[in-house]
Structure 1
Amino acid sequence: MDFSGKTVIVTGAGKGIGRATALMLVRRGAKVVALSRSPADLEALAAETGCATITVDLADAQATRAAALAALPADYLINCAGTTELQSFLDVSVENFDLLYAVNARAPMIVAQEYARDRVKRGAKGAIVNISSVASFVGIPDHAAYCASKGALDGLSRVMATELGAMGIRINGVHPIVTATPMAVKAWSDPEKAAGMLSRIPVGRFAEPDDIAEVILFLLSDAAAMVNGLSMPVDGGFMIA
């Protein structure tokens, strides 16, 4: 897949899947506008790729909208930023619930709104990939707010696909299994917990960031021109096991 001459906004580009996707896009000719909360991560990414960077805390709605506007114009958008807090349903706090919704559901909405408004104004087609999780399909212990926020993102993606598809902008969701990222280390560092999840994945391993990035790029590309509204598990068969 060749993205020469294309500009792609990638949120959460400082680490994990977002970083891997940004690197892959640059290798395939794209200009990347990378958004992240960490200036140090963005500086390292820019030094490696020459991409444009915007530092933003996506939990801040006003700052998120300003960053989205500053990133435009762009041909494609990848909403990859996400966060989690490990709390059971009985223990989840309102503060953490609101934080996860802000970053995992509200921020993708805001960035996608500004991206789509700009594409429509230009009379241009486009594509958005929202990075969700298999956690939106299953109830994972201690992930109450995370599962809920990713389910909210899925509902938003379906409405976006219905409304924006008619305007030439495709929206698809990617749902990774546990992926070797800093956030996954935080959530799955307990060997017993990790072993229980691994036992349910037929291919016998967790995902690598590049496994997910390849699927993201396919869904952005013209090769997926008739793919709209998809919720695509990238899970090694977890959902059928």
Structure 2
Amino acid sequence: MTGSPTALRLDGKRVLITGASRGIGADIARTFAAAGARLLLSGRDRRTLETLADTVDAETEVLVADLSSPEGPTVLADEAVGVYDGIDVLVNNAGISYPEAVDALDTAHFDQVLQVNLRAPSLLAARVGRSMAESGGGSIITVASAAALRPLPEHYAYCTSKAGIIMATKILALELGGRGVRANSICPTVVLTDMGQKVWGDPVKSAPMLGRIPAGRFAVPSEVSNTALWLASDASAMINGVDLPVDGGYLVS
């Protein structure tokens, strides 16, 4: 079973994806829909979410949520669990970044990045993970970053938040693994989403980074989505508590 193509199917699985409006989240939604999942798409922009829902061939519900608000993560968790009477897969994808040097650090930006990238997914995963454990298991997938494992200049808050969420994910794996819940992190290098293009589109800025990636290029969204599909599926049934680089060799260079 593990080695068969059917192991990469998600037929009937109830999947909550945060930050699903665009970029990596939207690509994960399309990939999971093609694999047979039932989708719960979360983000702040209802219109964009509904447009995406109309384009995927899957049972799909839209959940508008502001994960930066104090009660946002727990409200979303409770609402999402109620839609399909449980969740089998959580993809914690929502995230933000304000690239800036340490000596120009904006306190409000720092707080917002930690709120969205660390506090919100940690609380959401804890709440959803408890529900999964009570229902027999599930898979929690954190979209972290190679910047959690190797420092990146001008990304003080971002690196801090992503390193923290990796450790939170490991604790989920440790505490809930015995109750059928797996929790793993994906750590991509730069991904060429709209946000990735905005930050890294300048060749002067991107050249040194590309020079540290043996593959000689940045990632594309499908490479993260396909990794998430594997971690959500039965094909990765023995994978728990790992932080998996999708980086073209960046971390070994």
**TM-score bin, normalised by smaller chain:** over 0.9
Find the aligned partners of 2:174 and 2:16 in 1 and give their Cα distance. Answer: 22
Find the aligned partners of 2:167 and 2:37 in 1 and give their Cα distance. Answer: 29
1:93 and 2:94 aligned: no
The percent of aligned pairs where both chains have the same amino acid is 36
Q: Which amino acid aligns with 2:101?
A: S
Unaligned runs of 5+ in 1: none
- Count matched residues: 240
Helix, strand or coil: the match of 1:60?
coil
Find the aligned partners of 1:219 and 1:17 in 2 and give their Cα distance. Answer: 15
Q: Which amino acid aligns with 2:50?
A: E
Q: Which amino acid aligns with 1:14?
A: S
| TM-score of the two chains, using structure 2 as the length reference | 0.92
- Cα-to-partner distance string for 1:63-101 (whole Å, 9 max, x where unaligned): 221122111121111101110001111111221111111
1:164 and 2:164 aligned: no
1:184 and 2:230 aligned: no
Unaligned runs of 5+ in 2: 1-7
- Let me know the Cα RMSD of the aligned residues: 1.2
Find the aligned partners of 1:117 and 1:154 in 2 and give their Cα distance. Answer: 18
1:52 and 2:72 aligned: no
Residue 141 (structure 1) shift? 1.2
Q: Which amino acid aligns with 1:78?
A: V
Equivalence map 1:1-241=2 (5 Å): 1-49=8-56, 51-72=60-81, 73-122=86-135, 124-241=136-253
Runs in 1 of length 4+ with deviation above 2 angstroms?
A: none
- Cα-to-partner distance string for 1:117-157 (whole Å, 9 max, x where unaligned): 212333x1111010100101122111110011101111111
Contact in 2 for aligned 1:84/1:183 (Cα 8 Å)? no
Find the aligned partners of 1:116 and 1:145 in 2 and give their Cα distance. Answer: 26
| TM-score of the two chains, using structure 1 as the length reference | 0.96
